[in-house]
A = this chain, B = another copy of it.
Amino acid sequence: MSDRIYNFNAGPAALPLSVLEEIQASFLNFKGSGMSITEVSHRSKWFDDVINDAVARTKRLLKLDDSYEVLFLQGGASMQFCMIPMNFLNNNETADYVNTGTWSTKAIKEAEILGKPIKVVASSEDKDFSYIPKNIPFNSDAKFVHLTSNNTIKGTQWAEFPDTQSIPQVIDMSSDIMSRKLDMSSIGMIYAGAQKNIGPSGVCMVIIRKDMLNMVPETLPSMLKYTTFAAKNSMYNTPPCFGIYTIQLVMKWIEETIGGLDKMEQLNIEKAGVLYKAIDDSDFYRATAAEDSRSLMNVTFRLPSEDLEKQFVAEALENSFGGLKGHRSVGGCRASIYNPTTREAINALVDFMKTFEQKNG
């Protein structure tokens, strides 16, 4: 499709072209049902096959055994910010939160709104969230440790997660889920709004270790407790069918086209490497995240002046590179290069950056 742009949006973001083409081709008649995927009943065999395959592929990709449930919720990661303390903190129980930026801050805020006595045990706010904290003093009475694995806005990412001993980690992976291999041994729950690496907006993947479900109070409203979703294969009520279907196709793409998470990770390291190298080799572009905390998903950088940044984003757009403006809260430039972003797109961007530097450097 020559009329498609190079999409570096932070989310909603690019999806694999082959996935979009499959959705398009079957949009009026899904799998011989005579209906669109948007029209089939969630209680039908057609949709059962979709959701079960999405779950099975997710489990295979992450090598999850039967001690984990893969669930699909609504409301994005933002809804998880309140559901997590509601589900896992009873009475005066506490949890440790690490603050690595905007999304961590919001997660902390929602726990505090609920009156939960959580502790912020580390923060990189002192340096404008440009790094990932080290040597964190976790509290042994914490029911969980909350982490945000990747900061889309400042372009930082946990290279590896901290040692929290036996305390389960609850990790917001909205912006890097399925982008790399994952050691699940300390993870109690992962959650991710789909709209960056694995699907469209409107569906949130939750992977939860079954023993975490024992912490959920019976007294919560049905739609706010994980047990409701776990008991009904995410279909206590009508799920976001189109989003789950798209996730299924993206998981299939990772498994069958890319070749699994090892390959996905390798590709993502390569892609980010090419872009960071272009930035580091230049005196014109400057990466903003601390080197050991750089994100493989969101590459944030500055130009010598704000005027040049504006010009860069505008000329990029004219040349079919979309989404390169930094988040409105921080300015600068950002290339979001999630799973679906191709090597070709990265190479084209690097070429454009070099040309721009030659003309304006």
Contact = CB atoms under 8 A, between A and B. Distances in A.
Contacts of A24: 24, 27-28
Contact of A241 (B28, B202, B237): B202
Given A5-B34, A113-B221, A27 B29 contact: no
A1 B29 contact: yes
A38 B11 contact: no
Nearest to A34: B5
B238 A76 contact: yes
A113 B220 contact: yes
11 contacts: A12-B42, A21-B28, A34-B320, A38-B246, A41-B323, A74-B240, A81-B222, A82-B221, A110-B221, A195-B238, A242-B243
Nearest to A193: B238
Interface in A210-257: 219-224, 236-243, 246
Interface of A: 1, 3-5, 7, 9-15, 17, 20-21, 23-24, 27-29, 33-36, 38-43, 74-79, 81-82, 106, 109-110, 113-114, 193, 195, 199-203, 219-224, 236-243, 246, 320, 322-323, 328
Given A75-B223, A79-B74, A322 B202 contact: no
Contacts of A27: 20, 23-24, 27
Output the residue of A27, A28, A36 with the most chain B CB within 10 A: A36
Copies in the complex: 2
A28 to B, nearest CB: 5
Given A74-B74, A202-B243, A236-B78, A34 B7 contact: yes
B29 A238 contact: no
Contact of A237 (B5, B78, B224): B78
* Closest CB pairs A-B (n = 3): A202-B240, A5-B34, A82-B221
Contacts of A193: 237-238
A212 B232 CA distance: 34
A109 B246 CA distance: 33
Contacts of A36: 15, 20
B74 A200 contact: no
Contact of A222 (B10, B110, B328): B110
A75 B199 CA distance: 17
B223 A78 contact: yes
Given A27-B20, A34-B3, A42 B201 contact: yes
Contact of A20 (B38, B41, B195, B219): B38
A10 B41 contact: yes
A176 B20 CA distance: 32
B28 A81 contact: no
Contacts of A3: 29, 34
A35 B202 contact: no
Contact of A40 (B9, B40, B110, B224): B9
Contact of A238 (B12, B40, B220): B12
Contacts of A241: 12, 200-202
A193 B202 CA distance: 13
In this complex, the member of A81, A114, A201 whose beta carbon has the largest number of chain B beta carbons within 10 angstroms is A201
Contacts of A38: 12, 15, 20, 199-201, 246
A81 B223 contact: yes
